[in-house]
Amino acid sequence: MSAVIHEDHHHDEPPRGFKRWLYSTNHKDIGTMYLIFALVMLFVGGAMAMLIRAELFLPGLQIVNPDLYNNLVTDHALVMIFGMVMPAAAGMANWMIPMMIGAPDMALPRMNNMSFWLLPAAAILLLASLFVQFIPGTGVPVNTGWTIYPPLSVQVGLGMDLLIFSVHLLGISSIMASINIVTTILNMRAPGMTMMKMPLFCWAWFFTGLLLIIVMPVLAGGVTMLLFDRHFGTSFFDAAGGGDPVLFQHLFWFFGHPEVYVLLLPSIGVLGLVIPTFSRKPLFGYKPLVYFMGFLFALGLVVWAHHQYTIGMSLGVTTYFMIGTILISIPIGLMIFNFIFTMWRGSITFETPMLFAIAIILMFSFAGVTGVMLAVVPADLQYHDTYFVVAHFHYALIPGAVFGLYAGVFYWLPKWTGHMYDEKLGKIFFWWTTLSFNLTFFPQHFSGLAGMPRRIVDYNIQYVEFNQISSIGAFAFGLSHLLFLYIIIKTVKGGEKAADKPWEGAQIGTPGLEWTLPSPPPFHSFTTPPKIQ
């Protein structure tokens, strides 16, 4: 007879020293680590972008050699996607989802820790793949772009193997994090917190998690075949042996296109909280928004080949992918309308998160318009692999994903740190970053339409003006992030005390339980589940 000894679970003091972080099983600490990691990677990927733009300031070769340039282009994409946007979104999920739904922690806390710590390990391998080219005898640098298409990627040296294994670790990390988040949402909701009462952010991450569970194994399979082609004599992507290099493109984009929604959906979730809060009005059409996200999730999985119109697919196939892709504008457009109608006749105030939210609606819609242009096969045959595409996806990903995360950072910083951020500096950061972003990428539409190809270190003299405007914008954009860093550090260190509910309108609509906790919340929250109505 073993009477269970009631262990003391109420010690609210976090453990001390490095063990608190390395051995953590606390969703808030792990969320913090994710966010700090993302911030570091933002500067790593940003430094790569600065080098790229510095090189492109003038035609000809100035700073980096072509292979290093292409390697920087490759790693800029991978670092920003896997190192910055996904970890930042996962950090917010870790911090907020358990508090929103009234759970004591994530469903599987130890696995949660492992999904985080895999990221630094993967980042080391990824950066090693960049720097290994400086060691003689390691072969050609990773000059393929982040899509690592064969046959070029088969010819690259040691760097490609390090990159492939880095992708494997990132994949394991994403799948584990997604399993954790989906399980938390399905199983850990407090009594009364039904799925349809959850804040939109939870729904957004629910679909994001499902997408990752489905597509990351496909990428893992694809790069594994690439690895075998490189080292073990298989012929998956070599037509001479009966394979097909195009197959890798299908596998890559079956992952790559849903990945766009993986980056986008968490930010839409943030918008679904920020806009009602600062409009002081419930979210317009909560249920349809959830359905649209489900629709987006399903459609996103079946339209991948619009990235490959020029490879010579049959007419029927390209037509299918064109129609499917254009259909995506329906759920996205409806979401945008929902957000606009939420603001309609609301009493709006323009705090920094709201400014970002409005800018996202405007600029992301613009990316949607260029996206429809790119979806049309005959038009895309002209735009393919030009700077028009670069401009399009930076308009989609920076406002769509990154600005959404910035909105989330400003929205939740008071909750996380217990201090209000400096509103004036926040607004300066918003205007600085938004204007410089547009200065960087708007001209690239023109240089692209004029025919400037992407991923090339040198360019024709006719594109000089556009590139110089772009580079100046990029330097300003990069510089604005030092202010971002300063604001965050200043808020963490001190500032005006934040109330439990720092935003007046935070409880309007479909509120979560996070605002019922103090700011900052205690180390362990909701150890006994709260009851909702």
Helix axes 245-279, 86-101, angle to 10 degrees: 50
Member of 233, 345, 461, 489 binding other proteins (CB under 8 A): 233
Per CB under 8 A, 239 contacts other proteins = yes
Residues 310 and 297: their CA atoms lie apart, in Å, by: 25
Member of 40, 51, 114, 420 binding other proteins (CB under 8 A): 114
Least distance in angstroms from the C-beta of 262 to other proteins = 14
Member of 43, 47, 51, 138 binding other proteins (CB under 8 A): 138
Closer to other proteins by CB, 98 or 269: give it. 98
Member of 136, 242, 493, 533 binding other proteins (CB under 8 A): 242
3-state secondary structure 457-505: CCCCHHHHHHHHHHHHHHHHHHHHHHHHHHHHHHHHHCCCECCCCCCCC
Q: Which two tokens stand for residue 264?
A: 């986008």
Residues 449-508 that bind other proteins (CB under 8 A): none
Per CB under 8 A, 140 contacts other proteins = no
Residues 213-232 that bind other proteins (CB under 8 A): 213-218, 220-222, 224-225, 227-228, 230-232
Residues 53-72 that bind other proteins (CB under 8 A): none
Q: How many residues bind other proteins (CB under 8 A)?
A: 87
Residues 409 and 262: their CA atoms lie apart, in Å, by: 18
| 27, 94 contact by CB (below 8 A) | yes
Residues 285-314 that bind other proteins (CB under 8 A): 312-314
Instruction: List helix spans (H) across 301-422.
Output: 315-343, 352-375, 377-383, 387-397, 404-417
Per CB under 8 A, 238 contacts other proteins = yes
Q: Is the peptide bond before 399 cis (omega within 30 degrees of 0)?
A: no
* Span from 88-96, 192-200, 233-241, 361-369 in contact with other proteins (CB under 8 A): 233-241
Per CB under 8 A, 191 contacts other proteins = no
Per CB under 8 A, 251 contacts other proteins = yes
Per CB under 8 A, 108 contacts other proteins = yes
Member of 154, 162, 409, 457 binding other proteins (CB under 8 A): 162
Closer to other proteins by CB, 167 or 289: give it. 167
Per CB under 8 A, 141 contacts other proteins = no
| 260, 324 contact by CB (below 8 A) | no
* Span from 162-170, 322-330, 420-428, 477-485 in contact with other proteins (CB under 8 A): 162-170
Per CB under 8 A, 172 contacts other proteins = yes
| 142, 68 contact by CB (below 8 A) | no
Least distance in angstroms from the C-beta of 244 to other proteins = 4
Per CB under 8 A, 83 contacts other proteins = no
Per CB under 8 A, 258 contacts other proteins = no
What 449-455 contacts at long range (C-beta under 8 Å, 24+ apart), as own/partner pairs, is 449/383, 449/386, 449/388, 451/386, 452/386, 452/387, 453/385, 453/386, 453/387, 454/385, 454/386, 454/387, 454/389, 454/390, 455/70, 455/73, 455/145, 455/385
| 164, 223 contact by CB (below 8 A) | yes
